[in-house]
């Protein structure tokens, strides 16, 4: 029997996560280890997609790790994740990472787009709910998400 999956809003799965930077998060130069930030981004992207799909998910791709600001011990890192686009079984999640100083000012460290695929109980890709884009920004992200999906397909075809 085919089950219709009701579309969900971006706000239904949005996530904000905070981390205090401790000595075990640093590299030898005293800055946050990039692999640690990547792990936090992956966790946030996975939570957003899991909440949207109400299924287990796996990360198929992560686009773009650039470190625009150095992050040091005792800083607060804020990760904000939200749905931007859905295909049939895949979802695109945007995760912004910021460093927040004592005044509360946030500086952008990285913007990543993750492709998460929803899995059924047998580990096979399963259909995900549609995405209701309510704001101008959400609709703009959706349109850009369609272009990013095409670019990823082209990269896969070219084995890039």
Ligand X SMILES: CC(C)(COP(=O)(O)OP(=O)(O)OC[C@H]1O[C@@H](n2cnc3c(N)ncnc32)[C@H](O)[C@@H]1OP(=O)(O)O)[C@@H](O)C(=O)NCCC(=O)NCCS
Contacts to ligand X by CB under 6 A? 58-61, 87-90, 115, 117, 125, 152, 156
CA distance 80 to 86: 18
Residue 59 Cβ, how far from ligand X at the closest point, in Å? Answer: 5
Nearer residue to ligand X within complex by CB, 100 or 111: 111
Neighbours of 89 (CB within 10 A): 19
Q: Look at residues 101, 41, 44, 112 and name the one whose alpha carbon lies nearest to residue 76.
A: 101
Nearer residue to ligand X within complex by CB, 45 or 110: 45
Residue 82 Cβ, how far from ligand X at the closest point, in Å? Answer: 18
Q: What one-character-per-residue DSSP string does 141-155 give?
A: HHHHHHHHHHHHHHH
- Whose CB is nearest to ligand X? 87
Q: Look at residues 112, 73, 79 and name the one whose alpha carbon lies nearest to residue 97.
A: 79
Nearer residue to ligand X within complex by CB, 75 or 152: 152
Residue 4 Cβ, how far from ligand X at the closest point, in Å? Answer: 17
The tally of CA atoms less than 13 A away on the side-chain side of residue 117 is: 11
CA distance 30 to 28: 5
The β-bridge partners of 32 are 26
Residue 99 Cβ, how far from ligand X at the closest point, in Å? Answer: 26
Residue 107 Cβ, how far from ligand X at the closest point, in Å? Answer: 28
Nearer residue to ligand X within complex by CB, 43 or 78: 43
Nearer residue to ligand X within complex by CB, 108 or 151: 151
């Amino acid at each position: 029997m085919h089950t219709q999956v009701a579309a969900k809003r971006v706000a239904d799965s949005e996530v904000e996560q905070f981390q205090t930077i401790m000595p075990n998060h640093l590299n030898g130069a005293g800055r946050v280890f990039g692999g640690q930030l990547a792990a936090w981004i992956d966790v946030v992207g996975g939570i957003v997609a899991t909440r949207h799909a109400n299924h287990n998910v796996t990360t198929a791709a992560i686009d773009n790790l650039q470190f625009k600001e150095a992050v040091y011990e005792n800083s607060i890192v804020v990760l904000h994740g939200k749905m931007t686009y859905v295909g049939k079984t895949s979802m695109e999640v945007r995760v912004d990472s910021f460093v927040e100083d004592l005044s509360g000012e946030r500086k952008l460290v990285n913007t990543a787009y993750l492709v998460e695929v929803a899995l059924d109980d047998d580990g096979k890709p399963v259909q995900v709910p549609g995405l209701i884009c309510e704001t101008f920004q959400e609709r703009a992200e959706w349109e850009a998400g369609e272009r990013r999906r095409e670019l990823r397909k082209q990269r896969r075809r070219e084995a890039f």
